[in-house]
């Protein structure tokens, strides 16, 4: 059955490696991938978790849980220095490119927000509209395992969806995609294109991507980064130790796209930097929702409902009295 052009959206999953722990040079790579995606006709481009400026691969390789370790302190200090402070304009170049290219962008960053004092970091999924405005920032609810040694727990403020062409787009960070309740929150917001962002790894994406598509009757983009020993740049604190303890491949990608019936649109891509482009058809969502709609006719809100706190969490609420 033919479908209309209004039902179609060209999307891109940019599987790239960061210039690890270098915010400026990693931004250069992100901008290059955005231009590649735009030239391929994409209206939405997605990037992996913590890509800017990079995932904390050092933790499990350098005794990251050791208390008062000078190595961990110097690496954490450098991480904060290279993290993204949105209020300081660190995403301005990405926002400008999104507007210039009319390209909605989902990007995983290490955020160092001023509203939490400016010295803790969060794994955040940033949704930038095709007009260049930041529409939402979702801070990962629960860092996974060793990530808790550097990242702080987020909140529900960013559990939101946004319209991109014919689709309603939402996203979650890495192992949040295993969490049923955040998924349910996005389904209730009308999500029919889910973006799962990962630091990289076929073991994460191969099974879960298709499951999420079948559960949500949605398209699912799993987008990952890459990280190899050769991606560790010169000049990093404890650089020799990092190279000595690094695996040849720490993140092998695995980016892929699944259709609403769980079939592959693009099977997982491993071990290569590549901007993966595909055309999605909203009619396929409507077809699969005929027999199952997780927040619609196949839900029972009279029996089970979810309450979501989307307030941005802050340590202090100031109540100044007018003088």
Q: Which residues are catalytic?
A: 49, 140, 174
Torsion of CA 199, 201, 205, 206, to 10 degrees: 170
Whether 109 contacts 91, CB under 8 Å: yes
β-sheet bridge partners, residue 222: 196, 256
Which residue, among 177, 43, 197, has the nearest Cα to 109 in the 3D structure? 197
CA-based R_g, the chain, Å: 20
Counting beta carbons within 10 angstroms of the beta carbon of residue 159, is it exposed (0 to 12), middle (13 to 18) or buried (19 or more)?
buried
Residue 256, C-beta contacts closer than 8 angstroms, at least 6 positions apart: 13, 205, 206, 209, 221, 222, 264, 266, 267, 268, 269
The region that residue 242 occupies, defined by phi over 0 for left and psi between -120 and 50 for alpha, beta otherwise, is alpha
Give me 66's structure tokens: 């050791």
**Contact (Cβ atoms closer than 8 angstroms) between residue 103 and residue 97:** yes
Q: Which residues pair with 219 in a beta bridge?
A: 193
Neighbour tally for 28: CB within 10 Å: 12
Q: What count of other Cβ atoms lies within 10 Å of the Cβ of residue 286?
A: 15
| Long-range contact pairs involving 70-74 (C-beta distance under 8 Å, separation at least 24) | 71/238, 71/241, 72/149, 74/237, 74/238
Distance from chain centroid for Cα 146: 18
How many CB atoms neighbour CB 65 within 10 A?
11
């Amino acid at each position: 059955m033919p479908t209309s052009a209004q039902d179609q959206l060209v999307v891109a999953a940019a599987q790239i490696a960061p210039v690890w722990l270098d915010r400026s040079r990693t931004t250069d790579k992100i901008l290059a991938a955005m231009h590649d995606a735009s030239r391929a006709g994409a209206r939405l481009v997605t990037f992996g978790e913590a890509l800017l400026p990079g995932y904390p691969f050092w933790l499990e390789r350098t005794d990251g849980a050791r208390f008062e370790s000078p190595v961990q302190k110097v690496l954490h200090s450098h991480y904060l220095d290279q993290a993204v402070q949105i209020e300081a304009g660190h995403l301005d170049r990405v926002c400008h490119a999104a507007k210039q290219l009319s390209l909605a962008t989902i990007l995983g960053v290490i955020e160092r927000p001023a509203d939490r004092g400016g010295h803790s970091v969060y794994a955040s999924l940033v949704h930038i509209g095709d007009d260049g405005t930041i529409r939402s920032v979702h801070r990962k609810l629960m860092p996974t395992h060793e990530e808790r040694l550097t990242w702080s727990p987020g909140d529900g403020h960013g559990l939101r969806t946004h319209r991109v062409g014919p689709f309603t787009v939402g996203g979650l960070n890495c192992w949040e995609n295993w969490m049923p309740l955040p998924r349910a929150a996005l389904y209730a917001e009308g999500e029919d294109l889910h973006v799962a962002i990962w630091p990289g790894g076929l073991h994460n994406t191969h099974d879960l991507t298709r499951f999420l598509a079948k559960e949500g009757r949605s398209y699912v983009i799993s987008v990952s980064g890459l990280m190899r020993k050769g991606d560790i740049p010169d000049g990093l604190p404890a650089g020799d130790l990092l190279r000595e303890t690094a695996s040849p491949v720490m993140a092998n990608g695995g980016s892929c796209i699944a259709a609403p019936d769980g079939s592959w649109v693009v099977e997982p891509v491993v071990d290569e930097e590549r901007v993966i482009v595909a055309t999605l058809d909203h009619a396929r969502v409507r077809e699969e929702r005929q027999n199952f709609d997780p927040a619609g006719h196949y839900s029972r809100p009279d029996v089970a409902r979810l309450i979501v706190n989307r307030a941005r969490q802050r340590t202090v609420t100031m109540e100044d009295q007018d003088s």
